[in-house]
Structure 1
């Protein structure tokens, strides 16, 4: 399949407010995590620190570590702008699946009261629901995808 035939299906979207709210929610949630990893904002370790942690401590191959950082930072901006919404959502979805797998041993619930060893998977399930909806619906109203589709 050529890129010219793939692009229309990637940017196709309706004129609904629902995907707008979904992508803004997901983008506003994930972008600060990306900024922690890229710029060290919000108490993060910055790009070098995060790459070191993901490759040396977690054992992720450098390419997967880089893709995770890009999915959260560049993907967050893409979601907010509504450009490449499906691609950005897919990237964030990949990060959420890996994170859920890492947190699965801690059960379902988040650790609101500090009475378990780590966070559960409920947050990641919620984020994956947003991702799946955006994969189906696209960027929606006020997205650059909608402009590109015309």
Structure 2
């Protein structure tokens, strides 16, 4: 049963009701997920781009990409760094959340292929891909569910409607882009 706010139901999706309805636990839960994944991805991206937080910068990360079978390692380091940083910022702010989720999903699919040789669990000898799967699943879930009401997307009415269409399209875009990178850029 929907509670009411004045004469309007809180299930009413009008912008007026959305702005004045009380926050729910799911809004806070989505904010916590966005902040956790987004901030961590910004950190990983800036490691690649600038060498911050003990990262290799473009040079060191580019060498890693080449050793992992990617051609043009430095270019791939730039692309991965920008994708993680901008995708992470998008998730953190709840800005263009479906596209931010797509960027993260695509990056994590590539990370899974790099880390798949180490087994599944991170405790395996050479690392693993369990964390990559968790981050990709969280990003896909946020792309589908939306960022909640404590987000910049709240002010973009087009993203409040057709959420499932945009979310599914974004996840597919991220997966297809990752597949193309793996097909044409990785040996």
**Shorter-chain TM-score category?**
0.7 to 0.9
CA contact (8 A) 1:39 1:47 kept: yes
Question: Matches of 1:60 and 1:141 in 2, distance apart?
Answer: 41
Q: Which runs of 5+ in 1 are unaligned?
A: 1-13
Which of 40, 53, 58 matches 2:51? Answer: 40
Cα shift readout 1:2-22 (whole Å, capped 9, x = no counterpart): xxxxxxxxxxxx874132222
User: How far is 1:92 from its partner?
Assistant: 1.0
Max radius of gyration: which structure? 2
Cα shift readout 1:57-77 (whole Å, capped 9, x = no counterpart): 332456654332111112211
Which of 89, 112, 132 matches 1:77? Answer: 89
Question: Matches of 1:104 and 1:46 in 2, distance apart?
Answer: 23
Question: Matches of 2:109 and 2:117 in 1, distance apart?
Answer: 14
Q: Which runs of 5+ in 2 are unaligned?
A: 1-17, 159-187
Could you tell me which residue of structure 2 aligns to residue 142 of structure 1? 150
User: How far is 1:128 from its partner?
Assistant: 1.7
Could you tell me which residue of structure 2 aligns to residue 133 of structure 1? 141
Distance 1:49 1:103, change over 3 A: closer
Question: Matches of 2:50 and 2:42 in 1, distance apart?
Answer: 11
Question: Matches of 2:108 and 2:142 in 1, distance apart?
Answer: 14
CA contact (8 A) 1:71 1:95 kept: yes
Aligned-residue Cα RMSD (Å) equals 2.3
CA contact (8 A) 2:48 2:78 kept: no
Q: What is the number of residues matched between the two proteins? A: 132
CA contact (8 A) 2:47 2:57 kept: yes
Question: Matches of 1:41 and 1:64 in 2, distance apart?
Answer: 18
Could you tell me which residue of structure 2 aligns to residue 5 of structure 1? none
User: How far is 1:53 from its partner?
Assistant: 4.0
> What is the TM-score normalised by the length of structure 1?
0.75
CA contact (8 A) 1:68 1:91 kept: no
